[in-house]
Structure 1
Amino acid sequence: MAQTSSLAKIIDPPIDPVQMFKHLLETVDQGKPEGSFKEMNLATIDDEFGVLNRTVVYRGLSSDNYVFYITHRYTRNCKNLQANPKASITFYLPLVKDDADGKDTTWQVRLIGATAVELPESEMDALWDKEDLPAKIRGHVFPCGEPVDYDQLKLKHDTFLREHLTSGKPIERPASYTGWKFQPQRWDFLKVGQGLIADRFQYRLQSNGKWESMHVST
Structure 2
Amino acid sequence: MAQTSALAKISDPPIDPVQLFKHLIETAGQGKPFIEMNLATIDEEFGVLNRTVVYRGLSSDNHVFYITHRYTRNCKNLQANPKACLTFYLPLVKNVDGMDKETLDSWQVRLIGATAVELPESEMDALWAKEDLPAKIRGHVFPCGEPVDYEQQKAKHDGFLNEHLSTGRAIERPATYTGWKFQPQLWDFLKVGQGQIADRVQYRLQSNGKWQSMHVAT
TM over 0.5, yes or no? Answer: yes
Residue 27 of structure 1, CA deviation: 1.5
Q: 1:93 aligns with which of 84, 90, 113?
A: 90
Question: Which residue type is aligned with residue 44 of structure 1?
Answer: T
Instruction: Give 3-state SS (helix, strand or coil) of 2:200's partner.
Output: strand
- Asked if 2 retains the 8 angstrom alpha-carbon contact of 1:94 and 1:107, the reply is yes
CA deviation vs aligned residue, 1:142-189 (integer Å, no higher than 9, x gap): 011111110000000000111111111100000000000000000000
- Asked if 2 retains the 8 angstrom alpha-carbon contact of 1:105 and 1:193, the reply is yes
Q: Give runs of aligned pairs for residues 166-185 of structure 1, distance below 5 A.
A: 166-185=166-185
Residue 28 of structure 1, CA deviation: 1.3
Other-structure match for 2:10: 10
Unpaired segments of 5 or more residues in structure 2?
Answer: 95-101
- Asked if 1 retains the 8 angstrom alpha-carbon contact of 2:27 and 2:92, the reply is no
Question: Which residue type is aligned with residue 68 of structure 2?
Answer: T
- How far apart are the structure 1 equivalents of 2:103 and 2:81? 41
- Asked if 1 retains the 8 angstrom alpha-carbon contact of 2:7 and 2:196, the reply is yes
- How far apart are the structure 1 equivalents of 2:47 and 2:164? 40
- How far apart are the structure 2 equivalents of 1:2 and 1:176? 58
Question: Which residue type is aligned with residue 64 of structure 2?
Answer: V
- Asked if 2 retains the 8 angstrom alpha-carbon contact of 1:96 and 1:107, the reply is no
Give the direction of change, closer, same or farther, for the CA distance of 1:204–1:41 in structure 2 (3 Å limit).
same
**Matched-pair identity in %:** 83
- Asked if 2 retains the 8 angstrom alpha-carbon contact of 1:188 and 1:203, the reply is yes
Question: Which residue type is aligned with residue 65 of structure 1?
Answer: N
Q: What root-mean-square deviation, in Å, do the aligned CA atoms of Structure 1 and Structure 2 show?
A: 1.2
Residue 29 of structure 1, CA deviation: 2.8
Unpaired segments of 5 or more residues in structure 1?
Answer: none
- Asked if 1 retains the 8 angstrom alpha-carbon contact of 2:29 and 2:35, the reply is no
Instruction: Give 3-state SS (helix, strand or coil) of 1:18's partner.
Output: helix
Instruction: Give 3-state SS (helix, strand or coil) of 1:143's partner.
Output: coil
Residue 95 of structure 1, CA deviation: 3.0
TM-score (norm 2): 0.95
Is 1:50 the counterpart of 2:35? The answer is no
Residue 103 of structure 1, CA deviation: 7.5
- Asked if 2 retains the 8 angstrom alpha-carbon contact of 1:114 and 1:185, the reply is yes
Instruction: Give 3-state SS (helix, strand or coil) of 2:179's partner.
Output: strand
Give the direction of change, closer, same or farther, for the CA distance of 1:8–1:146 in structure 2 (3 Å limit).
same
Q: Give runs of aligned pairs for residues 119-130 of structure 1, distance below 5 A.
A: 119-130=119-130
Runs of 4+ with deviation above 4 angstroms:
none
- How far apart are the structure 2 equivalents of 1:49 and 1:110? 22
Question: Which residue type is aligned with residue 57 of structure 2?
Answer: G
CA deviation vs aligned residue, 1:24-47 (integer Å, no higher than 9, x gap): 1122133x15xx210000000000
Other-structure match for 1:209: 209
Other-structure match for 1:70: 67
Instruction: Give 3-state SS (helix, strand or coil) of 1:37's partner.
Output: coil
Question: Which residue type is aligned with residue 129 of structure 1?
Answer: A
Give the direction of change, closer, same or farther, for the CA distance of 1:174–1:51 in structure 2 (3 Å limit).
same
TM-score (norm 1): 0.95
Q: How many residues align?
A: 211
- Asked if 2 retains the 8 angstrom alpha-carbon contact of 1:124 and 1:178, the reply is yes
- Asked if 1 retains the 8 angstrom alpha-carbon contact of 2:7 and 2:198, the reply is yes
CA deviation vs aligned residue, 1:68-121 (integer Å, no higher than 9, x gap): 000000000000000000000000001356xxxx97110000000000000000
